[in-house]
Structure 1
Amino acid sequence: MNLGYFSYPLPANEPVLNYAPGSPERANLKKVLAELKKKQIDVPMYIGGKAVRTGKKVAMHPPHEIGHTLGHFHAGEEKHVKQAIDAALKAKESWANMSWESRAGIFLKAADLIATKYRPYMNGTTMLGQSKNVYQAEIDSACEIIDFLRFNVHFLNEIYKQQPISAPGMHNRMEWRPLEGFVLAVTPFNFTAIGGNLPTSAAMCGNVVIWKPANTQIYSAQMFMRILQEAGLPDGVINLVYVDGPTIGKVCFNHPDFAGVHFTGSTGVFNQMWTTIGANIAKYRTYPRIVGETGGKDFVIAHKSADPDVVATALARGAFEFQGQKCSAASRAYLPSNIAEQVKKKLVEQVKSMKMGTVEDFTNFINAVIDEKSFDKLKKYIDNAKKDRKAKILVGGNCDKKAGYFIEPTVIETTDPRYVTMCEELFGPVLTIYTYDANQFEKALDLVDSTSPYALTGSIISTDREAIELATARLRNAAGNFYINDKPTGAVVGQQPFGGARASGTNDKAGSMLNLYRWLSARTIKETFNPPTDYRYTFLQEA
């Protein structure tokens, strides 16, 4: 029973702690990191609120310290996905019928738990499990996931307020229902916040969810799941399973109650999902919602008016924070000939000053890439560039996986604007630079727009307002998130809703109302107060 209308005002973004030497948050996090490393944890799946252990254990290692074991997770199989679906569907009716203020309270409490006692644990598990430095962890696994939870409550409340007009003698209302069935959330390794947002945004709307995280993010995913349980999430609403992609797809995409997929990952996997769903469309109770944020080949183009210091810093941060393992990371740069040499010199100096090592040393800017597969792929690109006459390594280029998967931040300069590392997504600390004629800015814009199939993020750096306006217009479809005089990374919930188009996804903008609409099914209800009792209209009467 609804006994009132409740207010969920627009929240403020969660403040980012700085972890300066001598600060209490630094001391607390250091203590938690040591605590986490002292014990190996046993991580179950969570199905219907129960901890499920299969005995098929898979070890979890820090990417920067592969000789250390953080613990083991219990890998599942096809039957566990079926159990998760059954548990979700069992929980569906009571969850969908729960009052909005009670659902909202669960996620707001989870946000408060992360902001307070679990903040060092969310950051610590992300730092150790995904090799993020303290600042990258803080903005991701603390601030961004807190913001997603709080802002989504506000946004969904605003959607619920959207109601139709009513004419005399009737009342119209809009009912914002959850989807009919279950939602599959498939989440990547690189952002703990994405791992938290994809299942909870759908669940917040009254849906039940099967959540499959990347194996390399399970260490932090299980921490978030435990927080949701402590916050009061009912059993079966979100079910966390650890299975491979083909298994989850085989079961979920063949189930009649499959209602939608919330995905972040590779373009190839998303394309295969879409193909499979299309082939199975006759099996489903309703047309599934397909929401995905996929790959990127993100650009920075500098105009001849740009400040070389601004360009160099935007490239250094945009390309190499979290080892370039962001969907939005600067991967290709276009420098005008008049400032190219200055920018390259300054960039090389900045990269050479970056320290690389473990996350526990807070002076390290660079840590390890996520796993051996990623390491080997990136090393191959770098080794090929060393031998190619069209490419030159300006800085970096060394790779070592003896203790961890360490790849130096690497800048490649090419004379070919269609060189392979200007076109293909690498997902690592590799930036490729091409120098264009400073007087051919419009041609350079055409090059930026046509080189890559992706359209996720990009930026223009210039002090010339006409050049900014031109780039903004000409690159309208080249990036879903476009930055002026900044790096192409760092979207903040509520400030820069995130998502791209073309081969970068469905552009449903996580961190805004747009995304939440996809997990709702509207029903219009008209109530007539004085219904007619005769079919005859006035126009039928004789004069």
Structure 2
Amino acid sequence: MTQLTQKVAPFATEPFTDFSLPENKQAMEAALAKVKNELGKSYPLHIGSDKIETGDKIVSINPGNVDQTIGTVSKASKELAEQAMQTAVGAFETWKRVPARERAEFLFEAAKRMRERKHEFSAWMVYEAGKNYAEADADTAEAIDFMEYYAREMIRLSETSIHQPLVKLEGEDNRLTYIPLGVGVVIPPWNFPLAICVGMTTAAIVSGNTVVLKPASTTPVIAHKFVELMEEVGLPAGVLNFIPGSGAEVGDYLTMHPKTRFISFTGSKEVGLHINRLAAQTSEGQIWIKRLVAEMGGKDGIVVDETADLDAAAAAIVASAFGFQGQKCSAGSRAIIVESVYDKVVDKVAALASKLTVGLPELNYPIGPVVDKTSYERILGYIEIGKTEGRLLVGGGAAEGNGYYIQPTVFADVDGKARIMQEEIFGPVLAIAKAKDWKHAIEMFNDTEFGLTGAFFSAVEERIEEALETVHCGNLYINRKCTGALVGVHPFGGFNMSGTDSKAGGHDYLLLFTQAKLTSRKL
């Protein structure tokens, strides 16, 4: 690709599609029909320029229709993981020397082509991840945003790094530049199988690193579609290597590899802490301290005081709790309401939640399936626990359908120390607790090991100012839902057991994939 010479336009977020318009709905239905004809194919590993089929396969199924196979994806072994690592190590020596603006152009071109086929990428997520139209569309839009944003950020860093505000010293030319780290292992989640996969991977690549990508085993096909796109735009072989496989086998092997320079992970607290432990161990031949960028989930909540717009608060609680079946690390699975308006808000939430219908994502039901059998059984187990810890208002069990469907479930009168108020369920389950007043509500919100997102509803400015200072989470929203962070607008990452607060989609994110080098020349 030729290096960019023109001025790059300012970043603007990708607009969401309005599916209430007949032409947009029809376009999505056409994309679904196209993708449906492509289901069931086999997908290889990508190691350098080699496409490798293995005998061991990951079978991806539609969680909303378990009789439907999305595709079969070759599964890597330790030996193939080693081959991918050595390929990435070799590719790094040339990729790190490619000018930043040229690296950025690959992302701009990939974003352009994804935008042209936006509904097609979304349709794959409808089938493979169980997302409805709007959730899938937002996922694809975010993937486009990440590529556009990080491309611009890399250009900004490269063009301003030599002008960092260093203290001037007569007789010396001092410069601070940001150089790439090396080979990164990228382990994205299944719940945003395009957006987060794309964001994590392209941030590392545009910074000058090479990547070994191990996608989530429940959503490997959409990850492969992204890898195909990067190959289509001409990304040099070996810069991005695609090796689906077992976390216990391939993931651990790569995390402990002496040539791994950094690990970028999004997933559960338990897996994140496991990776952190392995990454902290120094392997034979390792000459650096590995860097870990981790986003590990949350137990997010919405606080409502007596001055708030109660209708708006109830709508935000339901949207935050049940969007994509609660399978978001930002999902508002807790609501903490002051006692003077508690009953009113509970009644409003229950009324809204009871109207949510459950069904096939392909038919665009508001609530679809959870991702797989393991999640299905775990969430139903938490619902049974909830029946002993709170008053069941809505739902309470499995829903009909040939998939992993669960009724949107609401529990009221839950103690702040209850398991369903403390543990991440990652499903369509909402726990509501009562607080004595707004300050007590904030105390209850902060009483968790997590600290990712939160929301505070109030009409009193003094209370809002206090909440802004004392509500302890990485992303705090005032008088709006606690999900729906936009790239460049709401840099995303959390405190405590929610991860390293890496702030994806923010100005300092790419610095995590670089190291600062100071050069000083005597004049």
- TM-score, normalized by length of structure 2? 0.95
Q: Is the 8 A contact 2:173 2:522 kept in 1?
A: yes
Aligned to 1:148: 146
Aligned to 1:328: 330
Deviations 1:79-137 (A, max 9, x none): 11101101111211111111222211111000000111x21221011111000011111
Q: 1:447–1:528: structure 2 CA closer, same or farther, 3 Å change rule?
A: same
Q: Is the 8 A contact 2:452 2:475 kept in 1?
A: yes
Q: Matches of 2:84 and 2:284 in 1, distance apart? A: 23
Note the C-alpha offset of 1:527: 2.4
Deviations 1:256-300 (A, max 9, x none): 221001110111111111112222266422221111000200010
Note the C-alpha offset of 1:528: 2.5
Note the C-alpha offset of 1:455: 0.4
Paired residues for 1:463-502 under 5 Å: 463-475=459-471, 478-502=472-496
Aligned to 1:535: none
Q: 1:520 aligns with which of 506, 514, 523?
A: 514
Q: 2:456 aligns with which of 460, 465, 479?
A: 460
Aligned to 1:185: 186
Deviations 1:326-355 (A, max 9, x none): 000001111112222221222122112212
Note the C-alpha offset of 1:6: 6.0
Aligned to 1:42: 42
Note the C-alpha offset of 1:7: 3.7
Paired residues for 1:205-244 under 5 Å: 205-244=207-246
Note the C-alpha offset of 1:186: 0.5
Note the C-alpha offset of 1:404: 0.3
Q: 1:193–1:435: structure 2 CA closer, same or farther, 3 Å change rule?
A: same
Q: Is the 8 A contact 1:6 1:101 kept in 2?
A: no
Aligned to 2:443: 446
Q: 1:412–1:4: structure 2 CA closer, same or farther, 3 Å change rule?
A: closer
Aligned to 1:70: 70
> What SS is found at the alignment partner of 2:508?
helix
Q: Is the 8 A contact 2:176 2:519 kept in 1?
A: yes
Structure 1 gaps, min length 5: 530-543
Q: 1:290 aligns with which of 278, 289, 292?
A: 292
Q: Is the 8 A contact 2:338 2:441 kept in 1?
A: no
Aligned to 2:505: 511
Paired residues for 1:258-407 under 5 Å: 258-280=260-282, 283-362=285-364, 364-386=365-387, 388=388, 390-400=389-399, 403-407=402-406
Q: Matches of 1:490 and 1:51 in 2, distance apart? A: 36
> What SS is found at the alignment partner of 2:10?
coil
> What SS is found at the alignment partner of 1:66?
strand
Q: Is the 8 A contact 1:59 1:73 kept in 2?
A: yes
Aligned to 2:156: 158
Q: Is the 8 A contact 1:421 1:432 kept in 2?
A: yes
Q: Is the 8 A contact 1:10 1:151 kept in 2?
A: no
Q: Is the 8 A contact 1:255 1:283 kept in 2?
A: no
Q: Matches of 1:134 and 1:111 in 2, distance apart? A: 20
Q: Is the 8 A contact 2:258 2:283 kept in 1?
A: no
Q: Matches of 2:70 and 2:226 in 1, distance apart? A: 16
Note the C-alpha offset of 1:12: 0.9
Give the greater-gyration-radius structure (CA): 1
Aligned to 1:197: 199
Note the C-alpha offset of 1:3: 9.2
Note the C-alpha offset of 1:158: 1.9
Aligned to 1:536: none
Paired residues in the alignment total 516
Note the C-alpha offset of 1:193: 0.4
Structure 2 gaps, min length 5: none
Q: 1:402–1:415: structure 2 CA closer, same or farther, 3 Å change rule?
A: closer
Note the C-alpha offset of 1:502: 0.4
